[in-house]
Chains A and B, each alone.
Chain A
Amino acid sequence: PNNTASAQILAVNTVSQRTTAQPVQMVLLKDLLGRWEKEYGVTIFYESQLVHDKHVLGTNEAATLEGKLNNVLPQAQLAFKKLRADYYLVVDAQSTASTLGSANVSKAEDVTVSGRVTQAGGDPLPGVTVVVKGTTTGATTDANGAFSLSAPVGSTLVFSFVGYSRKEVPVTGATTSFNVSLAEDTQALNEVVVVGYGTQTRQQLTTSVASVGGQAISRQTVAGFDQALQGQAPGVQITAPTGSPGAAINVRIRGNTSVNLNNSPLYVIDGVPIVPQYDREIAIGNQTPNPLNSINPNDIESIDVLKDAAAAAIYGVRASNGVIVITTKHGKSGKPQVSLSMYYGVQQLRKKIDLLNNQQFAQFYNEARTNAGQLPAFTQDQINSLQYNTDWQDEMYRTAAIQNYQLGISGGTDKTRYYASGGYFKQDGIVRNSGFDRYSFKLNLDQQVSTKFRLGTNLNLSRSNTNGSVRSELGAGSSGTILGALAQIPTIPVRTADGLYGQNPFRQIDNPIGNLLETHNLASTDQVIGNLYAELDILKNLTLRSSAGLDYREQLENEFLSREYPGFQNQASSLRGSARTGNTRQAVWLWENTLTYRPNIGEGHDLTLLAGQSVQESDRFTSNAQVSGFPSNAVPYLSAGTQFTRPSTYEEQWGLMSFFGRANYSYEDKYLASLSLRADGTSRFSTKNKFGYFPALGLGWRLSKEEFFPQSKTVSNVKIRASVGVNGNQSVPIYGRFSTYSTNQNYQGSGSTIVGGIGPSLTVGNPDLKWETTYQYNGGLDLGFLSDRITVTFDAYMKRTKDLLLTVSLPYSAGVDNVTRNLGEVQNKGLELGINTQNVQSQNNGFTWNTSLNLSINRNEVLDLGTLANDQGQQVGRQIITNTNNNDFAITQKGSPLGAFYGYVTQGLFQSQAEIDAANQTAREKSGNASALYQSGAKPGDIRFADLNGDGVINGSDRKIIGNPNPKLQGGITNNFSYKGVELSVLFQGSFGNDIYNENRITTEGMSDAFNQTTRVLDRWTPTNTNTDVPRAVAGDPNQNNRFSTRFLEDGTYVRLKNLTLAYNLPANLTKKISSSNIRVYVTGQNLVTWTNYSGYDPEVSASPFAALGFGRDFGVYPQARTYTAGINVSF
């Protein structure tokens, strides 16, 4: 690829030199104008049909640009108009004869019109073109959005700007307050879409790319932009698996493609592909920190989601899950603009779970023990005089603050543009002793060194601090805080009279409040994501870009469990207190070089060629150490402890070397094609599978541009798209191809010393490993109606992922746990619909109403998982069973979706011993085993499980797929209303038809142990309360009532009022008094109302957030908050 690229450079150079060496010959006017643009650093704007392929005699006579233009343009019956110092408009000489020179000779009927152009929100819009309709008279707005020009009364002013809806306003007379607000036009055909190593306009796209503007992101009061994407784009499924501040968000584009690897999209921030997930050295629970939180959402200009394979293929072996391209804000030339924004709000628990009070608990627990043949725990006297009635939820949750402050400055000159901002975001958790804060600093700088050479940097710096002291996703008996607060019994106090934390006398389960308050788990992450680039225009249409990027993270974690931590309560004083520290440093370097070439291949043809090369290398070093036995809480540092645990260090590296190329072609904006290829070499695979090749092709046809297509405003745009491409997924364990021996298999084998042991590790290496390959076919339709007031984007896709990298569990008897293997195939098929409508439009700040709706349907199916020989020697399909806390709950097998819920089916309760005896009798008859039982351990009041295989006995074979964690449909709808500076934005978002395994209920409705229970168990079966589906209480659960069955499966459907924002933009005459250009005040509610039948805290939940299998399970998950905020944005 390198050689080809150089050859092109040479060839083009030769051609170019020939044209400039003989200036007196006829040359293409287009070329000449282009050359002068560069030479003088100006914009010369013309409509292409005017210049077309006209040739002129070049000139060297005139010294100035205007002189040259005056020499050349008349040859083609053209003239020019200077709109401002660096902006020239080429016009038809005839039609402009009357107005040419009008700047000098003012006509009697002309009046001076001046005013200001703003965008929604009141911010000034610089650079807007204002033209008197049908003439070349025009102006552009300055940094404050102000313009002034002369126009005849009765004429019409046309306001247009890239990315905004064009607007026409009649001139009725001289005025100085000609104020116009342009609406952002996200579906505009000329919207610029960042497609990776370049941009395209939306009308040129042949692939499926969803774009979300910065405003829709910054409106939401959340820590990271990924969370704010929820409900905003078709085909993009966002779930906040937990409400824990700062925790990572689960993002899926067009379903899960992989059984075992990362299903997160690749994020490219200002051109730097970043590592999507971070591991923590000493994390408690399942939560991982979110690298995306290092980006302040307010600094984002736009987000483009590359959904289909053809769009994503330019990112090759990492693109299987789609690519999310984030572009941050850049300065615009003009005077400095300072903006200040801040908000403050409160967050609350959405709902409490109803639990038993002290007497109800005592009665239940006595009953559970008695039914198990144990003695009651409480006497009736004790029940009558219980001292405590602790509501652990009230103790655990609080109303918490959320606040955000940001100061930014942007602006620039012709040569230098800058955007700088500093922000502070702080979110306290609704669970005590939890929270997240972030200091962010952003600098984007673009410098034009000469007309051919540009330099710049995009820099994101941040420090984020996470208080991760909450032990979420853990069982009550494993110190889980959230589940602990539900399960801890009400009959004990938070603290006893002597100040110690109350203990459950029946069951070892931490006091959840003590557990939380005596834990101090703080992680601080410093992160730099950015690059430094240089761009050289080798030729007018050949640009070389070289960029050095960095994704650097330094993470320091410290945990201190104080001497009062409940887990130490029973330990010798000398052993209490413990501290851990973990440090991670990861540097990912990137060096990329691209060549972009736009050769002139004739009228109507537009071709852009891209060739590039990229090298990326990562080094991650971690260390951690642990000490316990602290004499005092006063010095919570490791040096104060007395008992040392083995410290450890670890290091790993990976590398990626890539070559890529792309051709985008269009003919008269009617026929569109895009072809790309990327070759990725990766260190994770052995020599024979080092390089993968990922081609893609996209085609588009703008039917509405055809002559035969009836030109009307009713149907204003019709485009048909089709694409096919290949993507990869390489996120295997970095050293997965190696069989390794592990250290630390130590033993005190010779006297009192501990000797180091090295032995086989638990995985078998696979030298044949290669990437997963996703083939995706996409068909799309873009429609515009009523002059594009209604735009519709529809996509249908089929995605097949082959060679799944599967961590295959090996039989325990092999002595190793698993091997990673390329095996099997998964398919995602889906439909996506996006509709944007401008329901009501009006001028001069009247009532406007826009709606944007998106709906996505994805169907996920395993096509193949390989086979295994069964005991009859037959090949049968592989099943992957996922379990949690020793409970199987999900299965992955051919013909089913990934991670389908798998369990028993309940069939009511056994009401009598006679019923059980009858079932046992049948079991004996069917099995021929005289001692067979239908369900061993069953007593009246226990659940009867359905005998699905009809063998008379309930065992593992009586399970089936009972639910699906994948939604059948999801979507979002945003309505924006505005009237005279008042704006209302309402976002609803929902998920339909997904099931949730509410594993919490094993603890809180299981009735088998000394845990508090939900009030649902008040309806439990007793000999006198038989008309119920809640089984009897019995300690130890001999019938396994709590095995995973339809009992704990719930419908996860919900609709949520995700965001409601009411804003008021102060009138300009008011803001001017305090020399501000814009003031906006607003109130926002996040997660205001949720409609769902789900019985847990929140239906948006996943206890294993990043597992490809086993998602959709609720177990001790930190609940989501409901947030109310008020804020103000001021700019000067």
Chain B
Amino acid sequence: CNVLDKEPLASVVPNNFFQNADDAESAITSAYDGLQMSGYYGQDLPNIGMMPSDDCTSTNNDVNALEIINWFPTTSQMGNAYRDMYRAINRANAVIKYVQPISMPTERRNQILGEAYFLRALHYFNLVRVYGGVPLHLDPTESADPGVVSIARASADDVYAQILADLAQAENLTTTTFGDNVLNRARATKTTVNALQARVFLTRRQWSDAQTAANKVLSNNTSVLATNFNALYPPDNNAESIFEVQFAGNSDGGFLLPDEVLPNPPATYSYAKFDIPTLYRDPRLAQPTDLTFAVDTVNDLRWKRGAKVTGGVSYVSVLYAGRNPAKQNDSGFFIYKWRSNPNGFNSPDNYYVLRLADVYLMYAEAANEQSGPTADALSKLNAIRQRAGLPALTLAQLATKQAFRDEVDLQRRRELAFEGERWFDLVRYARQTQADASASHKITALDMIQQKRNSRDVNYLLFPLPQSELNNNALIQQNPGY
């Protein structure tokens, strides 16, 4: 009878959903929306990739544990990132499961499925980099049966195998290009998939595969290097971009990071920022590895003051001693890569996940690791140097594999500072040396662990799994050392 029969009014019951092409579009939109969550690209994942490294410092308690490598299963970013990445996976899984049988134009359906595979691969790649092997969920969670929700960790190798399988699927299913500059950066295309493949192979030290994947990106002209480094910021689906998380400020908020790294103004709030460690701010605390010492503020266009922007005398990824020494929180050196006016933590700027300069450097690195310096690899490296106003180097100047490696490391650091990759690069370098003692990098994650914890504890190359997962999943085991 009617009194006892009440269906939800303001939400959808799945039986009624996934009926047509519109529903497939809504579902893939939801899967992309997963990228915006605050535990993910909105805030915590970039901080995980940034704070423990030598590029960033903060007296802010929110990230203190991350910075001083004193993290615990209860450290908030550990839980938030893990939780939000899995939420995003669940959304991608729903698309993969339900869009397949929908009656709709095949090409469009394939594209949507390809994007879902790409997103799932991206999420698992981020998870495996942060936590090591994790549970592999490949279907949307629709039942709370222990067999469905409580799964043991897969090995890191198995997770990588799944990532590569998903990327292979995605490469097959996605379109080469949408023909639309914005869409090509907002949604996954073949180029996007190849760029991520390059990063995955590089992380796995499969140099040849990495070079091949990077080469696919380079030989496809969907993305081209911007002539002016300054024009890359704030990220807004420009020609060099490959994949960006799209944020829209107040109308579709969630990008918290800019307010945390910018001084006020343009940041909404004044409080201790996540900024660049600097000699000038606190000489006693300076470390020789600090970003301050790694950049060239005289010749390098990336680290010279650029054009004035709205809201202050502030510049691109430029060291700038803050304008108001009396405001302790807002003096020092800041990164101005996301510099539009954030409004209450809602920045309208986008966030780079992949851009072409990164692929150039990945290509150069992969080539050098296989066969030492070559003209081909050097040309990719020089393209990045020259765009920054630095002279091209010759093979004579980078005669050895080690010298070339050091230069790639340096350019990656200067080029991609604060874009969420530094800590993962440092971990990658440490792993490479672990696997092959002769492959040494000037700075690795173990150096940072030594610096901050006074021991070269390899356990800190992985973060702890969050306490909540341990509490609720009896099949899970914590990483060693936590």
Chain A contact residues, CB within 8 Å of chain B: 373-375, 377, 503, 505-508, 567, 570-572, 575, 615, 617, 628, 643-646, 649-657, 681-683, 690, 734-735, 738-743, 745-752, 754-762, 764, 766, 808-816, 819, 821, 868-871, 876, 879, 881, 886-888, 929, 931, 936-937, 955-956, 1008-1009, 1035-1038, 1040
Contact = CB atoms under 8 A, between A and B. Distances in A.
Contacts of A373: 284-285
26 contacts: A374-B282, A503-B270, A508-B270, A508-B272, A575-B341, A575-B344, A650-B10, A657-B3, A681-B3, A683-B5, A739-B14, A741-B14, A745-B33, A747-B252, A760-B140, A762-B87, A808-B144, A810-B141, A813-B135, A813-B476, A815-B88, A869-B146, A881-B471, A929-B481, A937-B70, A1036-B61
B12 interface: yes
A841 to B, nearest CB: 55
Given A507-B271, A821-B144, A567 B29 contact: no
B73 A956 contact: yes
B54 to A, nearest CB: 16
A879 B64 CA distance: 30
Interface string B120-162: 0000000000000011010011111010111110000000000
Interface string B1-45: 111111111111110010000010111111111111000000000
Nearest to B148: A814
A643 B476 CA distance: 46
Contacts of A738: 7-8, 13
A812 B17 CA distance: 25
B27 A571 contact: no
Contacts of A869: 146, 150, 474-475
Contact of B182 (A682, A690, A751): A751
B90 A815 contact: yes
Contacts of B72: 1040
Contacts of A881: 467, 471
Contacts of B73: 956
B74 interface: yes
Contact of B272 (A507, A761, A931): A507
A571 B3 contact: no
Best-buried of A742, A743, A749, A1008 by chain B (most CB within 10 Å): A749
The 3 nearest A-B residue pairs measured at CB: A815-B90, A508-B271, A759-B30
B137 A814 contact: yes
A619 B467 CA distance: 40
B397 interface: no
B33 A757 contact: yes
B33 to A, nearest CB: 4
Interface in B60-113: 61, 64, 68, 70, 72-74, 76, 79, 82-83, 86-91, 93-94
Contacts of B472: 809-812
Nearest to A879: B471
A876 B4 contact: no
B70 A936 contact: yes
Interface string B260-302: 0000110111111000000000101100000000000000000
Interface of B: 1-14, 17, 23, 25-36, 59, 61, 64, 68, 70, 72-74, 76, 79, 82-83, 86-91, 93-94, 134-135, 137, 140-144, 146, 148-152, 180, 182-183, 186-187, 246-248, 250-252, 264-265, 267-272, 282, 284-285, 311, 327-329, 341, 343-344, 453, 455, 457, 459, 466-477, 481-482
B30 A653 contact: no
Contact of B68 (A759, A813, A931, A1036): A1036
A929 B460 CA distance: 14
A1052 to B, nearest CB: 26
B252 A754 contact: yes
A747 B30 CA distance: 7
A870 B150 CA distance: 10
B83 A812 contact: yes
Most B Cβ at <10 Å: residue of A570, A814, A1036 = A814
A740 B8 contact: yes
B137 A572 contact: no
A750 B33 contact: no
Contacts of A1035: 59, 61
Nearest to A745: B30
B309 to A, nearest CB: 13
A57 to B, nearest CB: 54
Given A507-B271, A869-B146, A741 B12 contact: yes
B6 A888 contact: no
A931 B284 CA distance: 27
A375 B473 CA distance: 43
A1036 B180 CA distance: 48
A811 B149 contact: yes
B339 to A, nearest CB: 13
A505 B264 CA distance: 12
Given A572-B341, A754-B248, A741 B17 contact: yes
Contact of A505 (B28, B267, B311, B329): B329
A811 B473 contact: yes
Nearest to B455: A931
Contacts of A1037: 61
Nearest to B74: A886
B475 A871 contact: yes
Contact of A746 (B33, B90, B467): B33
Contact of A757 (B29, B246, B267): B29
Contact of B141 (A649, A760, A929): A760
Contacts of B83: 812
B343 A811 contact: no
B86 A815 contact: yes
Given A743-B12, A749-B187, A815 B93 contact: yes
Contacts of A650: 9-10
